[in-house]
Amino acid sequence: MRSLVLVGAPGAGKSSVGRRLARHWDVPFQDSDRLVEARLGQSVAEIFIDQGESVFRQHERDVIEEALVDLDGVLALGGGAVLNDATRVRLADESCVWLRVGVSEAARRVGLNASRPLLMGNVRGTLISLLDQRTPLYEEVATWTVDTDGRSIDDVVHDIVDQVGVVA
């Protein structure tokens, strides 16, 4: 089974698009944030508050590595997963779609979402900083790039299916 990994900034639509793609191809869907939450028994926000970002990032790296070993379907990575060098090296062997989103669209989508601890406070300013830092990393791992600004989930899914073909 060939697999597909989705990367992108917060608000790019990785989870929504990933679930829809998995349904389209009739394959499993996984989300690295949900895998970390299941492992630690806390939400991402709680992990950041109680244990800190570095602990979250260690577990994120580990669950991604484990998921990629036997990946059978679609895996959506948390927006910051590409910050880890080992994860980026590992992604070189995978088919990755970068869901590219602009600052305005991402800010509109995430709003003041308390479940996104890195975006608390000045959402727009934080997103600008995150995109400046992470865009080269998303470009590095991307096999394909799909713009999501102003597009429906179905449009993005159809674009990915057109580019990627059939996951089989």
Contacts of 33 (CB under 8 A, 6+ apart): 44, 60, 78
What pLDDT, on the 0 to 100 scale, is given for residue 122? 62
Instruction: Render pLDDT for 11-34 as a digit per residue (tens, 0 to 9).
Output: 899 999 999 999 999 999 999 999
**Going from the N-terminus, what domains does the chain have, and what CATH number goes with each?**
4-159 (3.40.50.300)
User: To which residue do tokens 């470009």 refer?
Assistant: 139
Strands 96-100 and 4-7, sheet pairing? parallel
Place 123 in a pLDDT band, splitting at 50, 70 and 90: low
Q: Note the pLDDT tens digit of each residue in 72-100.
A: 899 999 999 999 999 999 999 899 999 99
- In the three-class reduction of DSSP (H, G, I as helix; E, B as strand; rest coil), residue 13 is classed as coil
Q: Which helix (H) or strand (E) holds 79?
A: none
**pTM recorded for the entire structure:** 0.89
